[in-house]
A and B are shown apart, each in its own frame.
Chain A
């Protein structure tokens, strides 16, 4: 038994058969695929993912959580955006950069651009702005750092994504997905500037390896 981030993904392929005459359109499953497809996605705080070298030399697996990152149009590391609320109380100050791990003493362990690693990442577009009003702005997720470009994963309101990077670490024995290159931004439907308000709130959870002894 160990801490674990347990995910699941599924996809239903829907095809619309256009109605003829007095028949209405009908949605059916794609006739080649024939099913809803799906599977799990998991990272555990075990030797399978956090090898002995990592466990000894570094600070091991830690959680990051912010329920309301205020993501603007400027592409930035996820943890350099500010959290709107003071929740969770042990790692987020309202209006301050939400860059603390959630499972350590208050404000003692911050995330570092290159010395820490992201093993699994969950992002959700809440569809809300910082006043609680609904917004149609899109949340962009980029694994490439810098400006969010063509490979950006797009999340509309109410949508979420799960990404896993853990095994790169064991293949190279190096830190893998740097939190400094996992960027978020906010845009309108085709990557243009976001509609007013110029932001969207994102819910973010990450399971990470704290490789920097700062506590």
Chain B
């Protein structure tokens, strides 16, 4: 046994069958795919080449183009075991990100309808890159990267758009300390 991130992903392809005369329209499963698809997405510390450690931030603030995982100099810049500070050059092995739907100041106040969070995996500003991955309020994603020469902390950038100055995201990750 070893520390591990146990992720799961599923996707349901829904097609609208339009209403006809007195019939009400209905949603059905895509007739080629025929089911909900899904699978796991896991990272075990035993696969690590160096020293994988946990990072967790329950409500990290995204306000402008910056590293999603805060590095040295921030209030929340340490691994959860307090053993070290996350370095910009450390490699991320596995990450979970969730758009919490508020600005971090008051969890009871929902963020605006167009407050989206974008992020990139190669250091580009997410608000200008066409390959930026998007999360709306309440949405989440899990990603796993290479166990050697993967995505460094300073390559995983986050940015937002919308009316609010800030959007809070929940982040849990397994990071190679010293990669």
A141 closest partner in B (C-beta): B143
Interface size class of B (residues with CB under 8 A): 35 or more
Q: Is the CB of B140 within 8 A of A13?
A: no
Closest residue of chain B to A122, judged by CB?
A: B11
Do A3 and B16 form a contact, CB below 8 Å, given A152-B146, A160-B37, A189-B147?
Answer: yes
Contact A14 B134 (CB under 8 A): no
Q: A81 → chain B, closest Cβ, in Å?
A: 18
Q: Is the CB of A11 within 8 A of B131?
A: no
> Which residues of B in the span 100-153 have a Cβ within 8 Å of any Cβ on A?
116, 118, 121-122, 127, 130-136, 138-152
A165 an interface residue at 8 Å Cβ cutoff?
A: yes
Indicate whether A191 sits within 8 Å of B9 (C-beta atoms), given known contacts A9-B141, A88-B32, A143-B121. Answer: no
Using a Cβ–Cβ cut-off of 8 Å, how many residues does chain A contribute to the interface with B? 76
Given that A6-B12, A8-B9 are contacting pairs, would A159 and B40 also be in contact in the complex, using a CB cutoff of 8 Å?
A: yes
Pairwise interchain contact A155-B121, C-beta atoms closer than 8 A: no
Judge whether A78 is part of the interface by a CB distance below 8 angstroms.
no
* Contacts between the two chains (Cβ within 8 Å), count: 221
Please tell me which one of the listed residues A30, A65, A144 contacts residue B80 in the complex, with CB atoms under 8 A apart: A30
Say yes or no: is B84 at the interface (Cβ < 8 Å to chain A).
no
Q: Which residues of A contact B41 (CB under 8 A)?
A: 155, 159-161
* With contact pairs A65-B33, A189-B147 given, residues A143 and B133 touching in the complex (Cβ less than 8 Å): yes
Interface class of chain B by DSSP: strand
Residues of B within 8 A of A4 (CB): 14, 27
Q: How far is the CA of A153 from the CA of B94 in the complex (A)?
A: 10
Q: Which one of B16, B37, B116 contacts A203 once the chains associate, using CB atoms below 8 Å?
A: B37
**Which residues of chain A from 84 to 131 have a CB within 8 Å of any chain B CB?**
87-88, 90-91, 102-103, 122, 124-125
Question: Which chain B residue shows the least CB distance to A16?
Answer: B1
- The answer to whether residues A165 and B134 also contact, given A27-B1, A33-B172, A124-B37 and a CB cut-off of 8 A, is yes
**Selected contact of A161 from candidates B116, B142, B149, CB within 8 Å:** B142
Are A40 and B139 interface neighbours, CB within 8 A? Answer: yes
Task: Determine how close the nearest CB of chain A comes to the CB of B126; give it in whole angstroms.
Answer: 9
B21 interfacial by beta-carbon distance below 8 Å: no
Q: B10 contacts A8, CB within 8 Å?
A: yes
> A182-209: which residues lie under 8 A (CB-CB) from chain B?
182, 189-191, 203, 205, 207
